[in-house]
Structure 1
Amino acid sequence: GGAGGSKKKLVMDTPEMEEIWQELRPRKRQRKKTNKDGTAKKRRGAKVPPEVERLLGEANSNYAFGELDSARTALLEAIRLSPGYPDSYHTLGLVHQDEGEAGKALECFIIAAHLTGRDFDQWNHLAHLSRQQQNIPQAIYCLNRALRLRSTPEGLYLKAQLLESTGNEKKAVETLTNLLPMLQKQDHDKRTEACASLARLHSRLGDTGAAVKVLEDWVSQREGGLKSPEPGEMDPINMLLECLTLQKEFERGLKHVSDLEACNPQMEIPVDIVVRKGVFLIGCDRFDEAQAAMQPLFRESFENTADLHFDVAEAFREAAARNNDKALVNKALEMYDALQAVELFNQPGLWLCQAKCYHMLSAHEQGDERKRLVDLAVAAYEKVRVKVPGNPAACNALGDLYFEKGEKGLQIELQSSDPGKKRRERAPKEPKAKKQKEAKEKPPKERDAEGKVMKDPKKAKDGGEGAKERKERLKVEAQQRREAALRAYSILHERAKLKYEMQEWADFLALAKPLLPCPDTVPRRRAKVRGAIGEGGRPNQQSL
């Protein structure tokens, strides 16, 4: 039988199915009853059979006195008698929790939450429990259920963190974007953390402009602007300056640094922000001011500030390419050579920058000196190509340099950026006449007395006609399972449409598989659940 129209009465095939349907069937919505003063009357809870109440009382008493085995037995019997009552699952979860089985406890709590319905605190607690057990997808699901009931800044920020940890950065950005309008002026610390996280995600996704906008809005909404920043607020400020460096917004970045210095004349500016100011001045071609501004950097330990030295060298190299200045190239090359002593920076990225500097210097020289610089550039590019095969910048530059040296016979194959994608070598096609000749040389196929072609015993399938019969039998069994699935799910389909969206219902079925009578296979576009069902459509107690 199946679910009919709204006016037709649904009749089940078996008494067990009829019993389940009478318990889970959709009820008509009744008009809300009110008191004389207009207030809504409190709804009474669902009636629980007396036997179930007795078992629950016995289970609670046993649990209170530490008799966990007796409590579990009573709870499983209560679930067998009334599988839709949430308190049984919640108490059973407490029993599992005391026994150290956190996974089973969490499963019972989630079934209880689904049966309870709209309980924000319960879903929020389940999200934190799932996070403690490192079940991040389930924690996100529980948070979504809680946030639909009550949207809170703490819940949204936790959801963004979980989404980021799973690599779903776009949804994390969307969540943080929805969080910012909810924060009040007094929630300054939360706003700082949220803006820093959102800007970091934008930058990681390649949208540096959006990161700059988020951080500049944070500065404008901060009371006093950049005046008296706390230690935890220096990271967003440094991130803003770094994003402006990537965007080549040197004047704009210099203005922010000047505002910070003007608002805090007595504060010692951190060395990383001092370097940002020097990079901005180099980008504005104010080299003398940059050299004076970066004096605090040269007083620091070279190994501890190697990354800042690399940023300054990059700024000098870009300014040299922009102005065609040999002196700036030598400054950048001097800093690159010094960074080779630091093991962390002695990598292909540094060698590539050195090769570019040698290549740029060769354009300012003639004769033997030019040849020497070209050889140095080639050696550095080759060093990069050996470590990172197929690097486009190194291969293209090497092609130009080898052409300049007159070594036209030396070719460099540019490999694909995808390491799994390789060029296919096509085999030469055989002539058509050769194929026809080989076909004629093949021996004729053997035929039986009736003239039919005899099958090769090596290629014949095992079983002969038995394989065909097996195929028909499997087809009939699959049809029978499909029909059984349709009968079982007909009692749940209307309830799914009334109370849940299909995706939520699928998640519920997956979590409540000991509760629902589901077959091994289900129709397409329905939740795939493998339930543990005992006799009479009742759940197996061992599965709980």
Structure 2
Amino acid sequence: MPPKKALDTDPEEKESFESFLTSLEEETNIVSEEEEEEIEEESLLDVEDNDDELIDELMSEEDELIDDSEITDLLNSSLKKRELLKTGGTEEMERDMEEFDNNLAINTGIGKLKRGVKRKITAGEVRLPEEVKRKLGEANALYIGKDYGNAIAMLQEVITDHPEAYPAWNTLGLVHEELGNTAKSLQLRMVAAHMCNDASLWKELGQKSIESDASKQAIYCFSKALTLDPSDVDVLWDRSFLYKQTGRNAEAIEGFKKILEIMPHHFKVINEMAQIYRAEGKTQEAIQMYEDAIVYHTENDTGEDEADGEEEEEFSDKLGYSEINMLSELYLVLNDYSRCLDTIKTGLRLIQHRQHETWWIDHADDDDEYFGDDDARTDFPIELRVRMGVCRVYLGPIKVANKHFEYLLQYPATTYPDLHQDIAYAYYDKRHYELALKVFQRIIDASDEVEVDLLIRTADCYREMGELDTAVMFYINVLEEQPENLDVMVSLATVYEEQGKEEQALDLLEFGKYLEARRLKEASKSQEEGRTEAGSNDASKKASIFDESRARTVKELYDIRRARRLREEQEKEVAAIALFQRLDEIDKHTGPDVVGMNRALMRDYMRAAQELWEGFYAIRAFFSSTRSKRFEGFYAIRRGKKRPNAHSRLDARYMAQRLRKRVKKESEDAANNEEMDEEDKQDEKEAEEEMKMSAATHFRTIPFTKWCYVFLRYAFMLAVSKRKEETHELLRRCFEANVFFQDLKMKTSIKLAQIGCGIITKHEFMVQDGARWLCNFYQFQNDPFRIYTAVLNGASSSYSGLISYSQLKYTSRIVRLMDALVLNSKGTGANNVPLDEIKELDDAIRAMNVDPSANEQNYMRFYEVPTNTDMQSLFRIEAKSLSRPNPIILTLFAHLMSISRNHLAATLFYMRAYAIAPRDPVNTLCLGMSFLQASTQRRCDNRHLLIVQGMLFMQEYMRIMGRCQESEYNMAVAFHLIGLTHLAVPHYERVLCLPSKAKAHIEKEKPIEDVYKWPVDDMDEDDNEDEEYDETDLKHEAAYNLHLIYVINGSPALAEILMMKYCTI
């Protein structure tokens, strides 16, 4: 990046400004305007006198050395040079200082304007009252004195009274920056920047935004700065670089081009543009930029020395090794090795300042100038030397390349592994197998993990060198990692053939056999077409009344077309089988655990599964527009033509044969009979094949269940990789495939996988969609609603989704429909539902504020059940008759009511569920707690009655569960909830004595004395440390609640014992 010169200030001006502000703190009174004018006049006179004396001294000294004419010439030349500079003589310095003082007075109110100077208000600036300027001056003084509190108070006062005073916003931002509030500082200073036209402020804010990782804001700030100063190279560079980082290549190129208009052929700019051009495939444009820049800088080279101090070279406009490296790499992309070598050699001469040497022009082209002991010629980056050697491998001679590579081979292969691979691949491409094998083996010996491609190339080298056994070993190792690599199969088959192992070679060449068969079929097709034409001519010559050749031609063409279609399908089948074999091997190594799967194996699995999915999704027959129609196989589908059912077609053929035999038309010609028999035979074959495919359960010899398993496993891997949108799209399309949709187990598995992937990726829609489909499909059954209850909030960290309007509305509709079906099943006629009971139930639901915005009067809308129900549709949705409401659905809706703090409504549905399942401990517990929670609310008619009812159901819950840790804990919580802590304490103590549910049959109940025993024995402490975490153990929760009771009742010692013993890690 370029140096930020625009933000630099003169050290003398800065020092005078700080001393001036410091002096304001020491003064108690402000100097009057008359006194200031007198002081300024005296200072100006003193400066003029000092300047006159200095000039006189200089003139007197120079008179002794030069005459007047020479002095005049020097003065004229100095004046011309001074005009080109930003700062020059004493008058210009005085003007600059005067302008600085005036700006200071205008912006901050410190000091006053010089005589004859008018206040100039630029666009976007405002005039400030004297009182505001005085306050700003005092606030600046407080800021300089690090009295940030008073400074903030004063600046906020100014902003409140005069929000248009942008210096107050800016200074307040600087104060917050000193306090470490970077974000707030940026916000305040952005407000100030919008009120004034200060390009340097926008520029500074852009840099601050970059430091805060706010790229978009930085781009905005730099754009604002460029509107004020379009020629600021620093800002153009920063904005263009940000455009490049954010992927906005077009804007980045435009910005870099503007820099090149100001600074023609700048190499650092060209380096950035070349990277963008290469990414976009515009290699030739990037090369042209470099070549034009080299020519420009060569012609305009000043020849100045590089070491004029230790200045920053980050944005230096000089040809360097990195530019030569990039340009040569661009030539390698185009495989132009000759231009690449010339570029490196010419560039090195320019960088080393040897472009004026001519001895190498007539010298042999052997790169001798880059060998030897002369460091000035041989000292350049090893990357460029290796690249020269690679070019020499392709261009020759090979000896020169070897001399270049010797500089690299003296280092270990692990130091420069990429460069070693470049050498090996160059040798291999030019068939220097012995040299390539040495480098490959060097890399393999030094590396802990070897790339598969390196093993393949190493095996190829051994094969070409005749070491077949070693080559087989390498090929087998590669096939274990990539069983679908057909190139390796062919290479290994070649080696097997050379070794005399024809059977093994034949197995590997099965795919090649298909390719050869296709070629032979195409050749035979052309020959048969020639024979057909010849046969047609012969038949015409014989003047036959039947065109026998035509019938034979139709059959042959049909066979050829059918064989080609089958051959293509067989080729895809072979590839699919290989992929499934590879996936099976990965499954053996990894097992069913996807989350803890090795990432390398996961990537291999995902690549293979993606290839299988692409092949599966390309089959249009699997994705019919009507999913209700079962998949009948590929041969039952014809483009643009509806065909009858396979059974009907076969029956029609048999019927035609019977009728033909009964009629016995003796007048038919024998040839005609032969033709029809041949056609019938062909149709019979088609019909039989269609019947086989009509009950298709496999695709490319792989059962659909296995396809579904692979896709679901692939979906979980995508979910683990945080690619939730791809996961959702994959599962959605799988569910749309009719081969999966028509199978109950597979489509249920897809929806269950959708729920799991949604939980992993925190995709709430996937979870809700999958869970609701299960509830809708398996209507009013237990397990789907258990799943729905478990995953209801699985994709969210808050409980807002549980009580959302959509959840309550969906659940309430299920309850209404269930009640309507139950009432309808008890009626005597169709839709014989007691409307009064329905209206009463509907009013009760409305009173719970489930859907306050609705005002429906048609109560039959949710309760009407059609009398003429399509049984096929009911079968598809797994609907079953209802004789009573499902308690799980009622409990689910009660849970939602309880979470929304509508405990009275919750008790209504808990009571309905209790009436159906009185022995359900969860529902009984929820019912008791719901009564107790309702008693704690303000809207309570009879609090004591609710408490009695709640404790009654809690006692019933205790009888159902028996005496165990869970029941004791829940009873303690119930007493604790209503404030009866003296009754809650014994139950909490029993929780600490009883074993957990997981250890109920292993451990025994401890005595109450052990609860408050402290310190514990060493043996007990060792046992506690060896214990693993038990999810069913409630001792920690009980101890914490009990300690709260002790703290409130003034027993800190007991509370401390409980916390130290049970709640300390």
Normalising by structure 1, what TM-score? Answer: 0.60
In the alignment, structure 1 residue 160 sits paired with structure 2 residue 240: yes
**Which residue of structure 1 lines up, in the alignment, with residue 721 of structure 2?**
none
Inter-CA distance 213–343: structure 2 relative to 1 (3 Å threshold)? farther
Q: Which has the higher helix share?
A: 2
Q: Is the 8 A contact 2:222 2:235 kept in 1?
A: yes
Q: Is the 8 A contact 2:324 2:344 kept in 1?
A: no
Inter-CA distance 428–127: structure 2 relative to 1 (3 Å threshold)? closer
Residue identity in the other structure for 1:195: I
Provide, for residues 318-345 of structure 1, a one-character-per-residue CA deviation record: whole Å limited to 9, x for no partner: 223xxxxxxx23332321111123338x
Q: Is the 8 A contact 2:167 2:192 kept in 1?
A: yes
> Take 1:304 and 1:226, find their aligned partners in 2: how far apart are those partners?
37
Residue identity in the other structure for 1:254: L
In the alignment, structure 1 residue 279 sits paired with structure 2 residue 390: yes
**Which residue of structure 2 lines up, in the alignment, with residue 434 of structure 1?**
none
> Take 2:302 and 2:506, find their aligned partners in 1: how far apart are those partners?
58
Provide, for residues 274-305 of structure 1, a one-character-per-residue CA deviation record: whole Å limited to 9, x for no partner: 22122112223543443344343344555434
In the alignment, structure 1 residue 87 sits paired with structure 2 residue 167: yes
In the alignment, structure 1 residue 429 sits paired with structure 2 residue 429: no
Residue identity in the other structure for 1:147: L
Residue identity in the other structure for 1:406: D
Q: Is the 8 A contact 1:445 1:454 kept in 2?
A: no
**Which residue of structure 1 lines up, in the alignment, with residue 325 of structure 2?**
238
Q: Is the 8 A contact 2:241 2:252 kept in 1?
A: yes
The structure with higher relative contact order (CA 8 Å, sep 6+) is 1
In the alignment, structure 1 residue 377 sits paired with structure 2 residue 475: yes
> Take 1:225 and 1:82, find their aligned partners in 2: how far apart are those partners?
56
* Structure 2 gap ranges (5+): 1-117, 307-317, 358-368, 370-375, 494-504, 511-573, 581-607, 612-713, 719-725, 745-777, 780-817, 825-830, 856-1065
> Take 1:41 and 1:75, find their aligned partners in 2: how far apart are those partners?
23
> Take 1:289 and 1:61, find their aligned partners in 2: how far apart are those partners?
72
Provide, for residues 249-270 of structure 1, a one-character-per-residue CA deviation record: whole Å limited to 9, x for no partner: 1121122234346836561153
For residue 316 of structure 1, report the CA deviation from its aligned partner. Answer: 1.6
Q: Is the 8 A contact 2:414 2:447 kept in 1?
A: no
Q: Is the 8 A contact 2:459 2:471 kept in 1?
A: yes
93-102 vs 51-60, greater mean Cα deviation: 51-60
Inter-CA distance 202–124: structure 2 relative to 1 (3 Å threshold)? same
For residue 248 of structure 1, report the CA deviation from its aligned partner. Answer: 0.9
In the alignment, structure 1 residue 255 sits paired with structure 2 residue 363: no
Provide, for residues 95-118 of structure 1, a one-character-per-residue CA deviation record: whole Å limited to 9, x for no partner: 3234332332222111011011x2
Provide, for residues 502-542 of structure 1, a one-character-per-residue CA deviation record: whole Å limited to 9, x for no partner: xxxxxxxxxxxxxxxxxxxxxxxxxxxxxxxxxxxxxxxxx
**Which residue of structure 2 lines up, in the alignment, with residue 466 of structure 1?**
852
* Structure 1 gap ranges (5+): 1-39, 186-190, 321-327, 387-393, 432-437, 470-544
For residue 429 of structure 1, report the CA deviation from its aligned partner. Answer: 1.7
In the alignment, structure 1 residue 332 sits paired with structure 2 residue 439: no
Inter-CA distance 355–170: structure 2 relative to 1 (3 Å threshold)? farther
In the alignment, structure 1 residue 412 sits paired with structure 2 residue 523: no
**Which residue of structure 1 lines up, in the alignment, with residue 150 of structure 2?**
70
Match of 1:140 among 215, 219, 224: 219
> Take 1:225 and 1:382, find their aligned partners in 2: how far apart are those partners?
60
> Take 2:161 and 2:339, find their aligned partners in 1: how far apart are those partners?
72
> Take 1:195 and 1:464, find their aligned partners in 2: how far apart are those partners?
65
Determine helix, strand or coil for the equivalent of 1:376. helix
> Take 2:331 and 2:301, find their aligned partners in 1: how far apart are those partners?
17
Provide, for residues 2-37 of structure 1, a one-character-per-residue CA deviation record: whole Å limited to 9, x for no partner: xxxxxxxxxxxxxxxxxxxxxxxxxxxxxxxxxxxx
Determine helix, strand or coil for the equivalent of 2:578. coil
Q: Is the 8 A contact 1:159 1:175 kept in 2?
A: yes
For residue 146 of structure 1, report the CA deviation from its aligned partner. Answer: 0.8
Residue identity in the other structure for 1:355: I
Match of 1:96 among 165, 176, 184: 176
In the alignment, structure 1 residue 215 sits paired with structure 2 residue 528: no
**Which residue of structure 1 lines up, in the alignment, with residue 514 of structure 2?**
none
**Which residue of structure 1 lines up, in the alignment, with residue 272 of structure 2?**
197
Determine helix, strand or coil for the equivalent of 1:466. coil
For residue 247 of structure 1, report the CA deviation from its aligned partner. Answer: 2.1
**Which residue of structure 2 lines up, in the alignment, with residue 395 of structure 1?**
485
**Which residue of structure 2 lines up, in the alignment, with residue 294 of structure 1?**
405
Q: Is the 8 A contact 1:317 1:357 kept in 2?
A: no
For residue 124 of structure 1, report the CA deviation from its aligned partner. Answer: 1.3
Provide, for residues 143-165 of structure 1, a one-character-per-residue CA deviation record: whole Å limited to 9, x for no partner: 11112221222222222333444
- CA-atom RMSD, angstroms? 4.3
Match of 2:189 among 109, 115, 131: 109
Residue identity in the other structure for 1:102: T
Q: Is the 8 A contact 2:462 2:470 kept in 1?
A: no
Determine helix, strand or coil for the equivalent of 1:411. helix
Determine helix, strand or coil for the equivalent of 1:83. coil
For residue 169 of structure 1, report the CA deviation from its aligned partner. Answer: 5.0
> Take 2:200 and 2:487, find their aligned partners in 1: how far apart are those partners?
62
Q: Is the 8 A contact 1:445 1:453 kept in 2?
A: no
In the alignment, structure 1 residue 318 sits paired with structure 2 residue 631: no
Provide, for residues 47-86 of structure 1, a one-character-per-residue CA deviation record: whole Å limited to 9, x for no partner: 4456645654554454455443333223223222222221
> Take 1:241 and 1:456, find their aligned partners in 2: how far apart are those partners?
82
Q: Is the 8 A contact 1:123 1:146 kept in 2?
A: yes
Inter-CA distance 306–227: structure 2 relative to 1 (3 Å threshold)? farther
193-202 vs 222-231, greater mean Cα deviation: 222-231
For residue 364 of structure 1, report the CA deviation from its aligned partner. Answer: 7.8
Residue identity in the other structure for 2:286: A
Percent identical among aligned pairs is 20
**Which residue of structure 1 lines up, in the alignment, with residue 799 of structure 2?**
none
Determine helix, strand or coil for the equivalent of 2:270. helix
Provide, for residues 476-507 of structure 1, a one-character-per-residue CA deviation record: whole Å limited to 9, x for no partner: xxxxxxxxxxxxxxxxxxxxxxxxxxxxxxxx
Residue identity in the other structure for 1:463: N
> Take 2:301 and 2:459, find their aligned partners in 1: how far apart are those partners?
42
Inter-CA distance 455–255: structure 2 relative to 1 (3 Å threshold)? farther
294-303 vs 73-82, greater mean Cα deviation: 294-303
> Take 1:317 and 1:292, find their aligned partners in 2: how far apart are those partners?
18
Inter-CA distance 455–222: structure 2 relative to 1 (3 Å threshold)? farther
In the alignment, structure 1 residue 341 sits paired with structure 2 residue 445: yes
Residue identity in the other structure for 1:180: L
> Take 1:295 and 1:57, find their aligned partners in 2: how far apart are those partners?
71
Determine helix, strand or coil for the equivalent of 2:834. coil
Match of 1:267 among 369, 377, 384: 377
Inter-CA distance 402–298: structure 2 relative to 1 (3 Å threshold)? closer
Q: Which of the pair has more CA radius of gyration?
A: 2
Q: Is the 8 A contact 1:94 1:105 kept in 2?
A: yes
Determine helix, strand or coil for the equivalent of 1:177. helix
91-100 vs 305-314, greater mean Cα deviation: 91-100
Determine helix, strand or coil for the equivalent of 1:415. helix
Determine helix, strand or coil for the equivalent of 2:610. coil
> Take 2:334 and 2:302, find their aligned partners in 1: how far apart are those partners?
25
> Take 1:291 and 1:119, find their aligned partners in 2: how far apart are those partners?
61
